[in-house]
Each structure stands twice: as C-alpha cells, then as structure tokens.
Chain A
Amino acid sequence: MRFEVLMADTAERFLCEPHQSVLDSMERLNRQDIPVGCRGGGCGVCKVQITHGEYLRRRMSRAHISAADEVAGIGLACCVIPLTNLTLSVVVGPNVPPPQLGAREHS
C-alpha cells in the first residue's frame, strides 16, 4: 500500500512506495522537498519533524537524533518508512553547519 507524505510548510504532497523510506520515494519522483545527504542515517542532512502519522524507523546516528528526538517525532527521512499517511516538515539542523569551503562560495 502506498502512503501520502504531506510537507507541512509547502503543502506539497507525494506518494511513498511500500517499504521504502520517505527520502527514497521522494528521490524516485525526482522531487527536492527534503535535502538529501548520505541516505544511510549517518549525516543528519535529511532531518524532519513528523507531526502526524505512524512509521517505522531504521537505525539513525545518535550524533544527530537523540532518544528524546525520536520520542518527539524527529527523524531522518532516509530512515523513516511510512505505515500511514505522514505530515512532516524539514528541520534545518544547527548540527549541519556549512563547511568553510562551501560558505565562502556564497559570500
């Protein structure tokens, strides 16, 4: 069964394939609703706040997602597998600072 993801901030919606992570499904649709990093739960780039719905979690780096975060519905979209329709928003993580190399390009 496919479930719908609603991006709370933009009201954009997309469908998730069964047993696939939110980020996987988004990338397969060539969408860019959520920033993509390592896709393995390690880098913290795709952090989201889930406000509605049920989901499974794959193991995520404790450096980015604490036990309290998990309870609060914060997760990495590459590790979140929907069990119902989900509503979520992107968390711009203070723990993903731009490297000085990249920062200079924008200045």
Chain B
Amino acid sequence: MALSAVLRPGHVCLRVLDLDAAIVHYRDRLGLQETDRDEQGRVYFKGWDEQDWFSVVLREADSPGMDYLGFRVLNEDHLARYEEALRAFGCQVERIPAGELRHCGERVRFDSPTGHWFELYASKDCKGNGLGRLNPNPWPEGLKGMQPSRFDHCLIYGDDLDGTVRLFREVLAFDLTEQIMEGDLMVGAFLTCSNKAHDIAIIRHPEKGRFHHASFLLGTWEEVLRAADLISMHDISLDIGPTRHGITRGRTIYFFDPSGNRNEVFCGDYTWYPDHQPITWTTDQLGRAIFFHDRKLNENFLSVVT
C-alpha cells in the first residue's frame, strides 16, 4: 500500500531522435515489453512486473528529453482534490482527455517552478504481468535484455529547486528522504510518496526543465552486473558504473539511449516510512554521496543532461 494518495511514478514520456533505434534499445537491450503503438506514432512499454498497460512512452522529436512524468493517484476524488490544490499553488493546470494516451484515463497536467511538466491520473487499463493472480509462477519466461521489473523514478535538473520541492511536499504530500546541502542552500532533493528512498529526485541547475535520467528496478547486484555485460555486448553508450550511491544506497549502472537520454538500472535502497527523518549530505562530501566507491565527482554524470 502506498503511503500517500499519490501511488507511484506511473509513466514517463521521452522524446527520441530516432524511434526505430530507440525501440531496439528500450525493448531488446533495456528489456521493457512493448505494449502498444498509437496513431501519433508513439510507442508504449512496461516493465514485466508492472500491472498497468504502460510506464514508458517514446515519441520521435527533434530534441531528446522528457515531455512529462506522470504519477498514478488513488482515485478520481483525489485527482480532483489535487487539481484544485495545484491551481491554488499557482501551477498551470490542464485536463488531458481519457484515451489521449491509449489505455490511460483523464490526466491532470501541470507545470512546476523548475519548468518540468508532470501529470496525475487515477486510472489506467490493467495489462497484468502475465503470471495471473491465481497460484501464479514467480516470474515470466522469455524476457529480453536487462529485464527490469518496473519503471522506478526520474532525476530532473532545474533552477527553482526550492519551488518544485515545495510543490511536491506541500501539494502532493511527498516526503523528503535525502537532501544535498551547500551550507543553507539545498542543491539536491530526493522525494518519495511511498516506501522507496526516492520516487523523484531534483538537482539545482541553471537551466529549466532538464532531464538527467529515468531509472528502472532490478532485483539484485548480480543483475546490475549482467546489465553491465549487456552494455558492453551491444556497445551501448556507458555513463558510469557498476557502482554504489551513498545517496539512497542504490547499486547502479548508468547508460544512454541512442538519443542521449540517460537510463539507470539499479537495485537495493531502503524502506522509508513517513516518521523517518531526512538524511543530509554536504557538498564537501559530495564525491562519496554520489559514488560511494570512487569518492570522486564525475563531470559527465553531473553535467550531461537532455
């Protein structure tokens, strides 16, 4: 059970430069399941253990990056309440009709102080994980690639970090799990609506609306190493890893899709509860906060965004 009426990051819509190359990457290398295509040419995917019809949507465009990140909420009542609260906060808010994304109910789309667009929705068709709900097997056969069980979170970059953190905490009731502080200035925030160490992370950055990565969940460190093997076997653009983050404790590897959008696959964090207190990292220890083994900052990891 989720711990707030915002259940989880439910979909991310990414722009890609070459749709065919992106489909090979997300379906065959990352190993999501393709679940639909629509008349606009968008392609829909899900992780094998996700129940909802899709969690990743790809759209061909002339610049890569993130169109929007959508969160599933508990029901239509909460959707309406959040919509009102978002307007009161000062967001631009619009209703996107049901079916605009196939299999998805009505969406409430809103902007944020960092220039990112988000959505809330209360319904999406159930595709299921292929195992059924009566005496199921533990996992499906015939999976491809890195085989993540689900889309997990995004890290975004933007200027008004304080504003977007306030939006998520005050309007959507997310908890701050970890923060990076430069003296009194927050430069990084990790926020959750659930038991996870993060459902969204935000880093302070001079430009609005930038996308750092979309992350997908693996089960074990061994699976992270297997993902690293696949990255070399298929000559995928490696960013960094396998390694461990100090922040969130994730064991992780980062790589790029063929259009330069960064992906992460990771395993292992911790269980957050709302009565816990946030963890603070100071920028003088930023090396180990980000890469606990190297204890060194990596210019590319910090500065390459779409």
Determine if B65 and A38 form an interchain contact, defined as CB atoms under 8 angstroms apart: no
Residue of A40, A96, A97, A104 most packed against chain B (CB within 10 A):
A40
Residue A37 CB within 8 A of the other chain: yes
CB within 8 Å of A: which of B213-269?
237, 239, 256-262
CA distance A97 to B305 in the complex (A): 10
Cross-interface CB contact of B17 among A37, A61, A100, cutoff 8 Å = A61
- Please count the residue pairs between chain A and chain B whose beta carbons lie under 8 angstroms apart in the complex: 99
Residue of A nearest to B297 (CB): A105
Residues of A within 8 A of B64 (CB): 40-42, 61
Residues of B within 8 A of A105 (CB): 283, 286, 297
Determine if B237 and A38 form an interchain contact, defined as CB atoms under 8 angstroms apart: yes
Residues of A within 8 A of B62 (CB): 59, 61-62
Determine if B283 and A40 form an interchain contact, defined as CB atoms under 8 angstroms apart: no
Residues of B within 8 A of A37 (CB): 260, 300, 304
Residues of A within 8 A of B299 (CB): 102
CA distance A36 to B239 in the complex (A): 10
Cβ contacts A26-50/B at 8 Å (1 or 0 each) = 0000000000111111110100000
CB within 8 Å of B: which of A55-85?
59-64
CB within 8 Å of A: which of B185-222?
187-188, 203-207
Least Cβ–Cβ distance between A92 and chain B, in angstroms: 13
CA distance A106 to B116 in the complex (A): 28
Determine if A38 and B283 form an interchain contact, defined as CB atoms under 8 angstroms apart: no
Residue B63 CB within 8 A of the other chain: yes
Residue B180 CB within 8 A of the other chain: yes
Residue A1 CB within 8 A of the other chain: no
Cross-interface CB contact of A63 among B65, B180, B258, B300, cutoff 8 Å = B65
CA distance A52 to B151 in the complex (A): 45
Determine if A40 and B256 form an interchain contact, defined as CB atoms under 8 angstroms apart: yes
CB within 8 Å of A: which of B26-78?
62-65
Quick one: given A105-B286, A105-B297, are A99 and B302 in contact (CB under 8 Å)? Answer: yes
Which 9 A-B pairs rank lowest in CB-CB distance, beginning with the nearest? Answer: A42-B260, A38-B260, A40-B260, A39-B237, A63-B63, A42-B64, A62-B62, A102-B302, A61-B63
Enumerate chain B interface residues (CB-CB to A < 8 A): 17-18, 62-65, 157, 180, 182, 187-188, 203-207, 237, 239, 256-262, 283, 286, 297, 299-300, 302-306
19 pairs of residues in contact across A and B, judged by CB atoms under 8 Å = A38-B237, A38-B239, A38-B256, A40-B260, A41-B17, A41-B259, A42-B17, A42-B260, A43-B260, A59-B62, A62-B62, A63-B63, A63-B306, A99-B204, A99-B205, A99-B303, A101-B302, A104-B182, A105-B286
Q: A37-B304, A45-B303 are in contact. List 20 more A-B contacts (CB 8 A).
A: A37-B260, A38-B239, A38-B256, A39-B260, A40-B17, A40-B64, A40-B256, A40-B261, A42-B65, A42-B261, A59-B62, A63-B63, A64-B63, A96-B303, A97-B207, A98-B302, A99-B157, A100-B182, A101-B187, A102-B303
